[in-house]
Chains A and B, each alone.
Chain A
Amino acid sequence: MDYFIELLFSGLTRGSIYALIALGYTMVYGIIGLINFAHGEIYMIGAFTSFVVATVLSIYGFPLLAIIVLAGVCAAIWSSAYGYTIEKMAYKPLRHAPRLSPLISAIGMSIFLQNYVLLAQTSDFLPFPELIPDFAFMEPYAHIVGSSDLMILVTTAVVMVALTILIKFTRIGKAMRATAQDRTMAMLVGINVDRIISATFIIGSSLAAIGGLLIASHIGQINFYIGFLAGIKAFTAAVLGGIGSIPGAVIGSLILGLTESFATGYISSDYEDVFAFSLLVLILIFKPSGILGKAETKKV
């Protein structure tokens, strides 16, 4: 039974990280219908920014709590700034272009950002400071679930709730939903669509940055390439849950994380990704628009 619980937690941790990244994918997709391939890179930049900030602060002797807060805030600010700039430079000019052009622009942006960080910082792996301390009350359970796992789960849950409130009840959330439903109509009722799109990128990017900070401090290392695989996985999760749907992204991520964890635990980690992708294909065969995606009905 212990083994099962261990795998369950490991899957939930993985799923939570995927969820933080997948939300950015799904929000951007919901609003402008673009697969933002550079989103994984935003997550990486978030992790790097928090690394730089946290290390500088710890060198100057700040207390741990201040470091965590400042690193998180800075990561979110700079990641959002990158997300905002990327949207303005690489996607906005392509808003009326054929559907695949922004996709290629996104792939180019992703290659660009990876190499930018490689050149600006280093190609080496860097040790990420352990920001999440081992909580004393967790010690009896440390062999099953670590403090950082718990921290990731709690943070993700809090972020989800906050995001749901934002989308459901605030003015900007309503405007976002309106834009997602029908951009032209939203414009007609006086919503500044450009601003809403920017806001979406900013929110999505800051979530990714938080994800970057958490996972980097969980596994203790970063380099410029971490965004790629995480991005692909999160994208898979977003589609699995039904791209464009926010609860869908979370559910898809958790399912993906758990599948990988249990496949590794009970079968073999050699094929963990094969299981993940097979599950995706299987679900999409029976539910072609993902678990919570709305089936597209078209009137003729």
Chain B
Amino acid sequence: MFPLKEFKKSLLVALWFVALTFPLMVIQVDPIERIVNWRWNNMFFVAIGSFVLSVVGKAFFARKEQQLSKKRTAQNEEVQDTIFQRVLREPRYLWPISLACLAFAIAFPFLFSTYQTNVMTTALMYVVLGLGLNIVVGLAGLLDLGYVAFYAVGAYSYALLNHHFDLGFWTVLPVGGILAAFFGIILGFPVLRLRGDYLAIVTLGFGEIIRLVLENWNEFSMGPSGIANIDRPGLFGLDLSLNMSILYLYYLMIFFLIITIFVVNRLQDSRLGRAWVALREDEIACQAMGIDKTKTKLVAFSLGAFWAGIIGVVFAAKTTFVNPASFTFLESAIILSIVVLGGMGSIVGVICGAFILILLPEYLRALSEFRMLAFGGILVLMMVFRPEGLISNVRRVYQFKKNDRGEK
């Protein structure tokens, strides 16, 4: 079953990791007291742990390889979809499933505690953020590492307008979105000529610039101490208790999510959506087909930014406090991870990605200090085992059946 050779290899892997982790895991020094603490038992744990993981990993890859070769020999002309993808394409399965999900989502606050609802609201916010970034990265293929800047624009527009002019949530919501979209265009213009990773670093820089300005320009943004006591969203002037407002925000997010899914779905199949995909696949060919590259890119940036702005407003209303520390690069990286992990360009994928990445750290709380370690490790493992993302986007394929025209 498990050949001796593989066993030996795993043993070597374990040995390698023992050597690798030796200075950091085994030795601990106290430079003041000048004591060296040799923690030999850690070495033992590393050895056992890496050996087991290596055996499991090897077994997994062996199986994957077998499946792959089977597929190759099957000589099946038709593209094999996973069951999941087939379900997604068939409206007669898709509708009941979506409705069941919706019913579950509506019932959720009554089944679980307030805390769970609150966490779920956060997760829903990230789903919408992911869908927004998906327009930019997944559809138009523009790698954006500073998406959080637009999120910050939305959050601060609500925080500031609420603080200075007492404007309500519903008034600022469109303002925040439009302002963010405007910033999207501002960012879009200079980067039109840039490609791939150059674009990535400029967007990263842009995100940092926005954060630094918020941090340093005290007169405008109150600096790092942030803005507190932002109003929660109102419901026809009713005074909501904490529980009620958590519930209210939750349903609000469900509502936003449905709208977002609807819009993104329609966009994908629209003229504009197809122009984005064309742009992602080949810019030059796209231009040759008469697509206005500038306009298409700018629309992608501003539409993506618009969603971030909207969610920014919701964020400020939910936390009732904003400060620049919430809008770091790591946040952009997490949102990007949602899109890539879920499967670029796929709506269901992004939803799954967001739930995994946002709920994972919450439920990993049980692991306490190992939480972020596990999070990083899982991110790597998921990418290694499913590089296309959890649910990869199904490209529309037209198949010509040979018999249709009576050919041989």
Contact = CB atoms under 8 A, between A and B. Distances in A.
Interface residues of B, number: 62
B340 A100 contact: yes
Contacts of A51: 29
Given A120-B25, A284-B198, A288-B194, A271 B216 contact: yes
A32 interface: no
B232 to A, nearest CB: 32
A98 B388 contact: yes
B205 A281 contact: yes
B49 to A, nearest CB: 12
| Chain B binding surface SS class | helix
Interface in A224-283: 232, 235-236, 239, 243, 270-271, 273-274, 277-278, 280-281
Given A45-B24, A56-B27, A104 B198 contact: no
Contacts of A98: 340, 344, 387-389
Contacts of A56: 27, 29, 36
Contacts, number: 179
Contacts of A116: 24, 373
B383 interface: yes
Contact of A109 (B19, B28, B376): B376
Given A239-B201, A300-B284, A273 B208 contact: yes
Contact of A278 (B20, B209, B333, B384): B209
Contacts of A105: 379-380, 383-384
Given A277-B209, A289-B198, A127 B32 contact: yes
Interface residues of A, number: 69
A121 B201 contact: no
Interface of A: 29, 35, 37, 45, 48-49, 51-53, 55-56, 59, 74, 78, 81-82, 85, 89-90, 93-94, 97-98, 100-105, 107-122, 126-127, 129, 232, 235-236, 239, 243, 270-271, 273-274, 277-278, 280-281, 284-285, 288-290, 296, 298, 300
Can you list the 4 inter-chain pairs with the closest CB atoms, starting with the nearest?
A108-B379, A112-B376, A97-B387, A111-B376
6 contacts: A52-B29, A85-B17, A93-B384, A100-B344, A119-B369, A281-B190
